[in-house]
Amino acid sequence: MAGHSKWANIKHKKQKEDRRRAKLFSKLSKRIAVAAREGGGDPEMNAELRMVIDKARDNNMPNENIERAIKRGTGELEGVDYESFDYEGYGPEGVALYLEITTDNRNRAASEIRHILSENGGNLGESGCVAWMFDRKGQLVLDNSNNSFDEDEVLLEALEAGAEDVKLEGEIIRILTDPKEFMSVKEELEENNFEFKDSDIVMLPNNTVDLDKSGAKKILNLMDELEEHDDVQEIYANFNIPESVLEEIENEE
């Protein structure tokens, strides 16, 4: 497992569930507000808003939170004016980083994120400096911790629905799609009683940097700090940590 997937699988062990959930809801509210402001508050007419609402519901975000965020975006409720954009750069050990940002103050966000990277052996780069190392994909995540899914059956149904690939990674199954086919694949699989743990358009690395224990500690500390920043929606990275190294680090904690 590499980069974003690796981090997604271990970050919950580093945060208490209630604190993690509150931070996630705050970030999703910002993203919903931006989507509603840019494309209108009707999810049937706004594909981006519909996708983010689905992600929020996948993560059990209360409907009243969702509705409130939509109304802030459309101006029905007073709220902060957010904007969304991407940052690219490098972490320690030459790891490529692609950050999705939603903030009410671009200058502050740039300054704070630049500081976090600098303090952890990284730096911000020019637009496009690492984007070519990632592929934009639709991703649907199934929780298979109880072995309730048969990988072959999931693969067959997903491909029939128009997915590109299915990957088994520990306790999760990831279904990958062309971004343009994401919603149609998701809807067809939901009609076949699939319930997703998470769903979104993501950036997946097309090459990876293998890390030893020292490098792994550095990048995980950086990922942790970036994750804590309120303006950082998503972090994509192209690192790979061998299971043996990850277990060694976890046993030290």
For the chain, domains (ranges, CATH) are: 13-74 (1.10.10.200), 83-129+208-252 (3.30.70.980), 133-205 (3.30.70.980)
Q: Which residues contact 210 (CB under 8 A, 6 or more apart)?
A: 240, 242
Q: Which residues contact 76 (CB under 8 A, 6 or more apart)?
A: 41
Residue pair 138/182 in contact by the 8 Å Cβ criterion: yes
- pLDDT range class, residue 1, cuts 50, 70, 90: very low
- pLDDT range class, residue 8, cuts 50, 70, 90: low
Judge whether residue 14 has pLDDT over 70. no
pLDDT at 144: 86
| pLDDT tens-digit series, residues 97-111 | 999 999 999 999 999
Q: What is the C-alpha to C-alpha distance for residues 61 and 53, in angstroms, rounded to an integer?
A: 9
Q: In percent, how much of the chain has pLDDT > 70?
A: 92
pLDDT at 48: 93
pLDDT at 9: 55
pLDDT at 180: 94
Judge whether residue 16 has pLDDT over 80. no
- pLDDT range class, residue 2, cuts 50, 70, 90: very low
pLDDT at 253: 64
pLDDT at 20: 76
Q: How much is the pTM?
A: 0.86
